[in-house]
Chain A
Amino acid sequence: MMGWSDHLLVAPIALPLVAGALMLFFDDPRRFIRAGVGIAATVANLGLSAALLLSVDASADLTKVYLLGSWPAPFGIVLALDRLSALMLVLTAVLAMAVLLFSLARWHRVGVYFHPLLQFLLVGLNGAFLTGDLFNLFVFFEVLLAASYGLVLYGGGIARIKSGMHYVVINLAASFLFLIGVSLLYGVTGTLNLSDLALRVPLIAPGDRMLLETGAAALIVAFLVKAGMWPLSFWLPGTYAAAAAPVAAVFAIMTKVGIYALLRFSFLLFGNGAGDSAGFVDQGLLYGGMATIGFGMLGILAAQDMARIAGFAVLISTGTLLAAIGTNRSDVTAGALFYLVISILALGAFYLLVELVERGREFGADMLAVTREAFGYTEEAIDEPDEVVGPLIPSMMAILGLSFLASALLISGLPPLAGFVAKFAILSGLLRGIAPDGSIAGTDWVLVALLILSGLLVLIAMCRAGIQAIWGAEDREVPRVMLLEIAPVVGLLLVCVGLTIWAGPVLAYMEATARSLHNPASHVSNVQAAPHIKPLSTESGK
């Protein structure tokens, strides 16, 4: 028998869906109603996600399962909540809260449908994190992509249309690959339920194994397009730089959806218990991740404005995560999960901050004058909303500078903030060695070197941008920033500071998450054994 609290599992999907639909009933002039509904839904979502996280963390190897329509597990669609999905739900809710508050200052006046689109994006994100069914994952990916198409174009202007078009085309193509992968997997195994797939993968006939792996590879390429692995990532920095500030900030979690799907998919299906197919994704992810870090490092040095620096920082974080997943070791994965949390929060804050710092500066002010001429850059205006009206906050430059410093430390992974703890956890996992004699593989050394070097290069790029934007410009006006705009940035950074202070318990949570990811047996059995309520029989007994 299910108590009412069991139904909370579906609420992170249903709540924003209802809120987003409700908003459409109110006209644009009454925007405050939309904003109010949005705030209420997002606050409730945050509370719900936190409650779900606590309930999952309470017991050892618990996967909460919700059977939609109460069909038993392999036949109906299930929602499954374990530590990883709960963590992602909370992250999404925190980031959405910050972005929503930020947009209230002025960005939500630029276009018409910001609030509904944000809620529908949350439907897709929460659904993708909760679902335990492959085709359902596709549907939620499409929901979040459809909302993100609208958000990328939000605010209009030539730059957004141009990069938005590339974004739409590349994601449509990736969706078709996703479908090909899903249907191949179904054709070979006859099931779409992820935990049922995990049971069947080791039993596949040798003749069918190549088909299975082809399907899985097509699926993984689709995930990697979302995550932004080199060479599938050329669309990313430009699109994120052109998008409106709150949109770019919420997109900080979009690449991580791809990472989440990879974590779930590769460990569940091709983990250590997968028979002949065990670990067939590892090498690709490891080398691809390293290449992505390399590409991100080159790009971040070449980037000429702060939004593009942020874009390449996203790529470096993607590369770090992919390579860490590719090592297929529990302690490295734990560090990577911590890194994932920090990079989502810090990059979200940084995208918001970029818009505040850039405010009131001329185009291309970050570039060295020589470079600007050499590249032949001309002004290509992006529509900006009206000037901010409101009281000036004293010593705004100092607050902006400190926030910039904090996010630079977090993103590059320097002490004393949590970025360092996360990177250190990955490095110590790598240096522990798995060979019996304790020696460390050559690829691990390369990865260690890349991680340290990428931190240095991020720091160089950040210093250059920070000096030019905050110290260097003597004649610049102090940007007019409202409290409502700086508060989310500071809030996100304070969460990161909190994660630094309580790094012990957080890391313990990550280690438990990584352990259950690497040993999915209990997750699988929990899903398979989920009790379903038998329908009341309507026709007399058969």
Chain B
Amino acid sequence: MELVVALGIGVLTGSGVWLLLRPRTFQVIIGLSLISYAVNLFIFSMGRLRTGAAPILQAGEVGDPARYADPLPQALVLTAIVIGFATTALFLVVLLAARGLTGTDHVDGLERERR
């Protein structure tokens, strides 16, 4: 399981970084989204990977920490998802404004001359 998660994070980050360095704004925003997925998975995996373990105690239950997943990274992931979603949405607006004002989807607002 660790290998699969690690590979997934790696592939997502690699593709994201590559797209982030591309000249089109659409590629940049997809790259940012991919990196944010990778980062969220990464945060989640920092709580150690477990299957079939609940993060929250049942009412009245005597807790044995060994039987539970770490709830904190899950809370962090939730926050990170919300914030990442909001900022990506904001970037989408800037992207559209830039496209409308400059007439091109190049990140610098002007096409490089082709030789």
Contact = CB atoms under 8 A, between A and B. Distances in A.
Interface of B: 20, 25, 28, 32, 35-36, 39, 42-43, 46-48, 72-73, 76, 79-80, 83-84, 86-88, 90-91, 94-95, 97-98, 101-102, 107-109
A164 interface: yes
Given A162-B98, A168-B87, 15 more contacts: A139-B79, A146-B86, A153-B94, A164-B94, A165-B94, A165-B98, A166-B107, A169-B32, A169-B107, A173-B32, A175-B84, A175-B87, A183-B43, A183-B46, A192-B72
Nearest to B97: A161
B39 A179 contact: yes
Interface of A: 135, 139, 142, 145-146, 149, 153, 157-158, 161-162, 164-166, 168-169, 172-173, 175-176, 179-180, 182-184, 186-187, 192
Given A139-B83, A164-B94, A180 B39 contact: yes
Contacts of B35: 173, 176
B65 to A, nearest CB: 11
B102 A162 contact: yes
Contacts of A149: 87, 90, 94
Contacts of B109: 158, 161-162, 165
Contacts of A192: 72
Nearest to A176: B39
A437 to B, nearest CB: 47
Sorted from nearest, which 9 A-B pairs have the closest CB atoms? A187-B46, A183-B43, A183-B46, A162-B109, A176-B39, A142-B83, A161-B98, A158-B101, A179-B39
B76 A135 contact: yes
A519 B31 CA distance: 43
B15 to A, nearest CB: 14
B98 A186 contact: no
B101 A161 contact: yes
A464 to B, nearest CB: 29
A189 to B, nearest CB: 11
Given A175-B87, A183-B42, A165 B72 contact: no
Contacts of B76: 135, 182-183, 186
A180 B90 CA distance: 22
11 contacts: A146-B90, A165-B109, A166-B107, A168-B91, A172-B32, A173-B35, A176-B36, A179-B80, A180-B42, A182-B43, A192-B72
B73 A169 contact: no
B19 to A, nearest CB: 12
A165 B76 CA distance: 27
Contact of B25 (A142, A165, A173, A182): A165
B26 to A, nearest CB: 12
B73 A183 contact: yes
A145 B87 contact: yes
B80 A165 contact: no
A410 to B, nearest CB: 35
Contact of A135 (B47, B79, B95): B79
B41 to A, nearest CB: 10
A142 B87 CA distance: 9
Nearest to B46: A187
